[in-house]
């Protein structure tokens, strides 16, 4: 292999590969040069990334090199053209205006290039990138990398009705879902799939690259999801977690509603929580035309601040929630105003953004806590 390629293209390829470089000391990046293109692949046990970019090719061939070292080198290269060439048991990287930088990386001879698999399936759809990215943003924050509850470490992507695509995440104490209203092929997502936090992060990364749409396809055996845009594919091993019937958490009662200014309410919440202990308990004390937020540390600090709510006239109510979870929701929502829905101290609180992108709808549910 002997090629010349711009540093910017090589940087884009290595950034795409980052999500699959988990076991950093063991991971390898595969490079394949043919037909005036450089193909790159990197894989671990649950995620495979393939991408390609044009290059000036002097000789075709392949090389596998340590992933961490290669990506670190690419990150530090000067702008301009980069030369990659196989020399014996090494891949030589040369860069700089006068080719003054030179580095040799050991090739891993036991590896050989594998073409990306072809997933033949009718279970596929093109989704708008910006809307899918928004949906992931609204849910990803409450999906954990690891959780004592197996469903707490996955997001649940499924259809509700014929034209609603919904992503749900919950850790048992809070739940968020966001959905797209759009035309969906009949065969797409006949069964819901569970996606790990890593898979959601990689989808989010792909959506952020500026393509109009992302194609999602699910293998016939429901074990693999493929996300594709031109010259870039992600293969994800789907989680076998059986997602709970989350609809039971959503309140069925008629709720009191009040509109709150999100940025101001967020800053008040952060100030008041400075006095809280490790439970991050936050009291919401409603009275006609006002809301008082309180927190305390037993035997020590205590704080409170009141907010005028001229639209609220439903009498006195007191609720307690995890304040950290509330600030997480506020940091996720972009709407300037949020509708807060509540009933009693034993019922979940529901927050709904007042302004969202067209055809998007999000809901955030916080389970109340009992203060000792």
Domains 2-106 and 124-247 share a fold: yes
CA distance linking residue 362 with residue 11, whole number of Å:
35
Residue with tokens 């992108």: 357
- Domain 2-106 coded CATH 3.10.150.10: yes
What does the DSSP 8-state code read for residue 247? G
Give the domain ranges of the chain. Answer: 2-106, 124-247, 250-366
Q: Which two tokens stand for residue 103?
A: 């580095």
Provide the whole-model pTM.
0.90
What is the token pair recorded at 182? Answer: 């759009």
Q: Class of the 124-247 domain?
A: alpha beta
Give the dihedral of Cα atoms 226, 229, 233, 238; nearest 10 deg.
-20
What's the fold here for domain 250-366? DNA Polymerase III; Chain A, domain 2 (3.10.150)
Per-residue pLDDT tens listing for the chain (372 residues): 999 999 999 999 999 988 888 765 568 999 999 999 999 999 888 899 999 999 999 999 999 999 999 999 999 999 999 999 999 999 999 999 999 999 999 999 888 888 888 887 889 999 999 999 999 999 999 998 888 888 999 999 999 887 899 999 998 889 999 999 998 888 898 889 999 998 999 999 999 999 999 999 999 888 999 999 999 999 999 988 899 999 888 877 777 889 999 999 999 999 999 998 888 899 999 999 899 999 988 667 899 999 998 888 888 889 999 999 999 999 999 999 999 998 877 888 999 999 999 999 999 999 988 755
């Amino acid at each position: 292999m002997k090629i010349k390629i711009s540093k910017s293209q090589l940087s884009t390829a290595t950034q795409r590969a980052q999500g699959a470089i988990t076991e950093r000391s063991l991971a390898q990046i595969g490079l394949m040069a043919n037909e005036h293109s450089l193909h790159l692949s990197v894989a671990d046990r649950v995620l495979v990334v393939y991408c390609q970019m044009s290059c000036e090719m002097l000789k075709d061939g392949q090389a596998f090199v340590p992933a961490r070292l290669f990506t670190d080198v690419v990150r530090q290269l000067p702008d301009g053209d980069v030369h990659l060439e196989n020399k014996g048991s090494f891949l030589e990287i040369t860069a700089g205006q006068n080719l003054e930088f030179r580095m040799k990386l050991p090739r891993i001879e036991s590896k050989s290039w594998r073409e990306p698999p072809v997933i033949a399936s009718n279970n596929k759809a093109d989704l708008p990138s910006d809307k899918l990215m928004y949906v992931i943003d609204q849910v990803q924050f409450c999906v954990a990398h690891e959780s004592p509850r197996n469903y707490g470490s996955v997001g649940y992507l499924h259809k509700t009705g014929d034209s609603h695509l919904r992503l749900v995440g919950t850790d048992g104490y809070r739940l968020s879902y966001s959905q797209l209203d759009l035309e969906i092929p009949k065969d797409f997502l006949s069964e819901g799939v569970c996606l790990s936090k890593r898979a959601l992060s990689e989808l989010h990364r792909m959506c952020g690259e500026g393509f109009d749409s992302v194609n999602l396809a699910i293998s016939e055996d429901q074990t693999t999801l493929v996300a594709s845009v031109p010259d870039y594919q992600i293969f994800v091993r789907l989680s076998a977690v059986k997602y709970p019937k989350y609809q039971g958490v959503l309140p069925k009662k008629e709720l009191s509603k009040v509109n709150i200014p999100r940025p101001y309410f967020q800053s008040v919440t952060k100030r008041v929580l400075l006095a809280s202990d490790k439970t991050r308990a936050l009291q919401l004390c409603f009275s006609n035309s006002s809301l008082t937020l309180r927190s305390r540390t037993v035997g020590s600090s205590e704080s409170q601040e009141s907010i005028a709510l001229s639209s609220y006239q439903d009498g006195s109510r007191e609720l307690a929630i995890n304040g950290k979870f509330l600030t997480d929701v506020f940091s996720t929502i972009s709407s300037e105003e949020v509708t807060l829905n509540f009933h009693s101290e034993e019922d979940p609180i529901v927050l709904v953004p007042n302004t969202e992108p067209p055809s998007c709808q999000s809901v955030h549910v916080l389970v109340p806590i009992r203060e000792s």
